[in-house]
Amino acid sequence: MVEQLQQMLEDFKTGIEKVQSLPDMAQFKAEYLGKKGRLKGLMAGMRDLSPEERSSFGAKANEAKQFMEKLIQEQSTRIELEEINSRLDKEWQDISWTDRLKDKGQQAAGLHPLSSVMRGLEDIFLSMGFDILDGPHIEDEYHNFEALNIPANHPARDMQDTFWFQDKKHLLRTHTSNIQIRGMEQHKPPFKFVGPGKVFRSEALDASHEAAFHQLEGMMVGKDISVSHMIHFLRTLLSEIFQKEIKVRLRPGFFPFVEPGFELDYECLLCGGTGCSVCKQVGWVEALGCGMVHPNVLKAGNIDPREWNGFAFGLGVDRLTMMRYHIDDVRHIHSGDLLFSQQFKAY
Ligand code: DAH
């Protein structure tokens, strides 16, 4: 029986070298160590041995068992590693755009037109001494509405079709005006800052409406600031943006966070005022909402409205981009289509 045990170990050692996969290893293990395996078979014969022989054989069988288990474990780990490495070799992919484009004989695209316009705007504001702030896309009711003088149940909340979260307290910000509140939390007057970014509304989509679009908020607070300061500032801003004289018109507009409030339009640059799909055939395009910051908003920012005042504005950046680059459908801007973005040069 001891010889049979020896023989089994020899067979085991040569056999295990040939095993190349984990399923084969499981089968191999069962063949030697399983309930109906060779070791169990040998041990069944122990009942015919004398007590001394039985205990000496038992010890040897136990040793053999441990030896086989250890080797199976080691070999399994080795096979597993080999399998992982061979998959890594086979399934390796180059996900860097530059290399993929190079294969196709193409150049990486330039800046997206919207990014160009955003950067151009930021440069203009930086040169005028504004801080540039960032604000969260997921906002709470307080910063998006409440602190902007839009209390719950105020009809103005319906003016902006809001994507609410299930908790009914958080939302995707409907405008960048939340940055006014967040900016006042960080700044002591006098200050001037802008906040560019994405905003979200649950709207019907067409050539000039997207559910996610871009605004740039501005706020300037100081002493004795007047509506004429604001008008002069915004006119200068627009001619900087378009690098030429632009025709504008100012209309009264209602926004709860400013008083008085205005809407500023400029003549459509795509059709020159004759009417097209972008200006909805009216010849004028809304550029921005603006006005003198409402005292309640200043109070929400811990600023005393008897001492300080200022103006705020919110600029639609997607339409500005369309005007700047003569793009006739806002949906192109979000299409992610390389053929689209490759047409544009940096701003
Ligand atoms: N938040 C407004 C909107 O999304 C735009 C706006 C209007 C911003 C007037 C302002 C403002 O700062 O003064 O429609």
pLDDT tens by residue, 15-33: 999 999 999 999 999 999 9
Closest by CA to 60, choosing from 6, 10, 16, is 6
Q: 194 alpha carbon to ligand 1 midpoint, in Å?
A: 13
| More confident site: 285 or 307 | 307
Task: Write the single-letter amino acid at 76.
Answer: S
- Locate the ligand 1 atom nearest the alpha carbon of residue 215 and give its number: 4
Distances (CA, A) of 169 to 46, 130, 166, 172, 173: 76, 32, 8, 11, 12
Q: 145 alpha carbon to ligand 1 midpoint, in Å?
A: 12
- Locate the ligand 1 atom nearest the alpha carbon of residue 262 and give its number: 9
* 18, 55: one domain: yes
- Span 183-196, pLDDT tens digits: 999 999 999 999 99
Residue 105 lies in a domain: no
Q: Residue with structure tokens 């122990």? A: 46
Q: 93 alpha carbon to ligand 1 midpoint, in Å?
A: 46
Task: State the Cα–Cα distance between residues 165 and 143, nearest whole angstrom.
Answer: 15
pTM: 0.68
* Residue that terminates a domain, selected from 91, 121, 136: 91
Q: 92 alpha carbon to ligand 1 midpoint, in Å?
A: 49
Quick one: what percent of the chain has pLDDT higher than 70? 93
The predicted pLDDT at position 189 comes to: 97
Binding-site entries: 259
Mean pLDDT over all residues of the chain? Answer: 89
Closest by CA to 250, choosing from 326, 181, 311, is 311
Give me the DSSP letters along 10-67: HHHHHHHHH--SHHHHHHHHHHHHSTTSHHHHHHHGGGGS-HHHHHHHHHHHHHHHHH
- Per the CB < 8 A criterion, the answer to whether 19 and 28 are in contact is yes
Closest by CA to 330, choosing from 339, 341, 342, 318, is 318
* Ligand 1 pocket mutation, candidates 148, 159, 171, 175, criterion most atoms within 8 A of CB: 175
Residue 99 lies in a domain: no
What residues are paired with 212 via a beta bridge? 200
Q: How much is the CA Rg of the chain, to the nearest whole Å? A: 37
Q: 308 alpha carbon to ligand 1 midpoint, in Å?
A: 20
* 80, 207: one domain: no
* 287, 325: one domain: yes
Query: Closest residue (by CA) to atom 4 of ligand 1?
Result: 175
* 219, 267: one domain: yes
- Locate the ligand 1 atom nearest the alpha carbon of residue 293 and give its number: 13
- Locate the ligand 1 atom nearest the alpha carbon of residue 314 and give its number: 8
Is residue 321's pLDDT more than 50? Answer: yes
Confidence of residue 280 (pLDDT cuts 50, 70, 90): confident
Q: For position 260, which CATH number holds?
A: 3.30.930.10
Closest by CA to 294, choosing from 262, 269, 260, 338, is 260
The predicted pLDDT at position 107 comes to: 61
Residue 101 lies in a domain: no
- Per the CB < 8 A criterion, the answer to whether 258 and 225 are in contact is no
Query: Closest residue (by CA) to atom 13 of ligand 1?
Result: 290
Mean pLDDT of 2-11: 92
Is residue 198's pLDDT more than 90? Answer: yes
* 191, 284: one domain: yes
- Span 68-122, pLDDT tens digits: 999 999 999 999 999 999 999 888 776 666 666 666 666 655 688 899 899 999 9
Two structure tokens written together for 294: 């409402």
- Name residues whose C-beta falls within 8 Å of residue 341's C-beta, 6 or more positions apart in sequence: 109, 110, 112, 113
* 120, 239: one domain: yes
End-to-end CA gap in the chain: 89
Find the length of the chain: 347
* 307, 197: one domain: yes
Task: State the Cα–Cα distance between residues 31 and 51, nearest whole angstrom.
Answer: 28
97-111, 203-217, 281-295, 307-321, range with the lowest pLDDT: 97-111
Q: 257 alpha carbon to ligand 1 midpoint, in Å?
A: 8
- The alpha carbon dihedral of 252, 254, 255, 259 has a sign of positive
Q: 331 alpha carbon to ligand 1 midpoint, in Å?
A: 22
Rounded (10°) CA dihedral 243, 247, 250, 256: -40
* 55, 128: one domain: no
Residue 104 lies in a domain: no
Two structure tokens written together for 43: 């041990």
- Locate the ligand 1 atom nearest the alpha carbon of residue 217 and give its number: 12
Quote the number of domains for the chain: 2
Two structure tokens written together for 280: 């909805």
- Name residues whose C-beta falls within 8 Å of residue 234's C-beta, 6 or more positions apart in sequence: 248, 264, 288, 290, 313
The range of the structural domain enclosing residue 124 comes to: 113-341
Residue 40 lies in a domain: yes
The predicted pLDDT at position 346 comes to: 46
| Strand order, beta sheet including 309-316 | 131-132, 191-200, 212-222, 309-316, 284-293, 258-267, 248-252
* 76, 208: one domain: no
* 205, 327: one domain: yes
Residue 98 lies in a domain: no
The predicted pLDDT at position 337 comes to: 79
Residue 146 lies in a domain: yes
The predicted pLDDT at position 255 comes to: 95
Query: Closest residue (by CA) to atom 8 of ligand 1?
Result: 314
- Per the CB < 8 A criterion, the answer to whether 323 and 287 are in contact is no
Is residue 158's pLDDT more than 80? Answer: no
* 46, 127: one domain: no
Two structure tokens written together for 285: 């395009």
* 237, 197: one domain: yes
Binding-site entries for Mg(2+): 259
Residue 106 lies in a domain: no
The predicted pLDDT at position 106 comes to: 62
* Ligand 1 pocket mutation, candidates 255, 317, 320, criterion most atoms within 8 A of CB: 255
- Locate the ligand 1 atom nearest the alpha carbon of residue 148 and give its number: 1
Q: 22 alpha carbon to ligand 1 midpoint, in Å?
A: 65
| More confident site: 311 or 99 | 311
Mean pLDDT of 269-295: 89
Q: 306 alpha carbon to ligand 1 midpoint, in Å?
A: 23
Mean pLDDT of 297-313: 98
* Ligand 1 pocket mutation, candidates 254, 313, 318, criterion most atoms within 8 A of CB: 313
Ligand 1 interacting residues, C-beta cut-off 6 A: 175, 177, 217, 255, 258, 261, 289-291, 312-314
Confidence of residue 341 (pLDDT cuts 50, 70, 90): confident
116-125, 174-183, 331-340, range with the lowest pLDDT: 331-340
- Span 203-255, pLDDT tens digits: 877 766 778 999 999 999 999 999 999 988 998 898 888 888 888 889 999 99
Is residue 156's pLDDT more than 90? Answer: no
Distances (CA, A) of 343 to 8, 161, 173: 75, 33, 31
